Amino acid sequence: MKYQTIPHTDLKASAIVLGTWGLGGGSVWSDEQPDEKTASALLDTAEQCGINYIDTAPVYGMGTSETLLGKALKGRRDKFILQSKVSLNWRNEEGGTFKYERDGYTVNNDTSAAAIRKDLEGSLLRLGTDHLDIAVVHYVNDSITPVQETMETLNELIKEGKIKAAALSNSKPQDYENYEKYGHISLVQEQFSLLAPCHGYDYFPHLKKDHTIFQVYGALEEGILTSRSYVQRTFAQGDIRARLPWSQEAEKTEYDQFFDLLEEMAAAHNCSIANLIEAWTLTQYPDISLLIGMRHPSTMLDTCHCLSLHLTKEETDAMEAAARSLQRKDLDK
């Protein structure tokens, strides 16, 4: 395993992060409903692989992901860097701005000081811990609360020992610059993939000067970039994978041509196609963190192989050329 220091902390985090959106189940991940046994098996395998970094959020299954993790973390909390999020909540009477409706809940985005503190306390209770290592503002702007209020609240929580670092997600470079006026942002967690790289390319120059970590989510596009056959699957309405453009019939011919190259390269490197995509991702920015959603120990074991895979510039150029016609700037996630 490879490790990197989280800026402004003494945390040594694995370059691969266990993402637990899928652990929340619900309509977003309609094909499985994980349980405590699943969560425990994932953490067992994480320890085996040297993965010490876990990402979750209150709205992953409306508390389900955090609750399952809390049970699985009993007796081993100190072995993991634990990251969860603030700003999205389903306390509908309290304000914020409407974000979405899902599984019978109305979720609002609220970055006010009071909301952030309530979000954090709820997470600590479900996770069975007295602190988070990193708190991520899930969506940075509720269009009501000043950035200064949000960042100063995060600074207070650091001083109180309830978190060690602050981070942003679903943000833009200007958001990062605005938050940095009032404190330190250790990482940004953003969507980035070979099929949708534009946001990362725009963001990298703003982060390099501070060596801020760019934490990738969506590198495998919810499984679309793991196999040729994945795009042929059908998903229930509301499932995140049903909304991806590559699941649409019009994309499948170009998708097959793209996979001709990936399958040939994977055979040459004796690795999975997912490993190719993950290895490409790791070449894109010096301080990159690879957040991979994992619901099965086998996925975690395979993912770790990407760290020993070395792609040539000719290979990464070929991958980018083959993907170009499939690339999209904006995704409905």
| Global confidence as pTM | 0.94
Inter-CA distances, 297 with 171, 226, 238, Å: 31, 16, 26
Paired with 225 in beta bridges are none
One-letter identity of residue 80: F
Residues of the chain with pLDDT under 50: none
Orientation angle between helical segments 173-180 and 198-208, nearest 10 degrees: 30
Q: How far is CA 230 from CA 25, 118, 262, in A?
A: 19, 39, 14
Neighbours of 255 (CB within 10 A): 20
pLDDT of residue 251: 62
From CA 260, how far away is CA 269, in angstroms rounded? Answer: 15
Nearest by Cα to 333 from 251, 172, 221: 221
pLDDT value of residue 256: 85
Quote the pLDDT of residue 26: 85
**pLDDT tens, position by position, 241-267:** 777 777 665 566 788 889 999 999 999
Do the Cβ atoms of 256 and 232 come closer than 8 Å?
Answer: no
Residues 6+ apart with CB under 8 A from 31: 235, 239
- The pLDDT value recorded for residue 239 is 77
| 5 Rama sector, left if φ>0, alpha if ψ -120 to 50, beta otherwise | beta
C-alpha 221/C-alpha 306 separation (Å) is: 17
Specify the pLDDT at position 333. 57
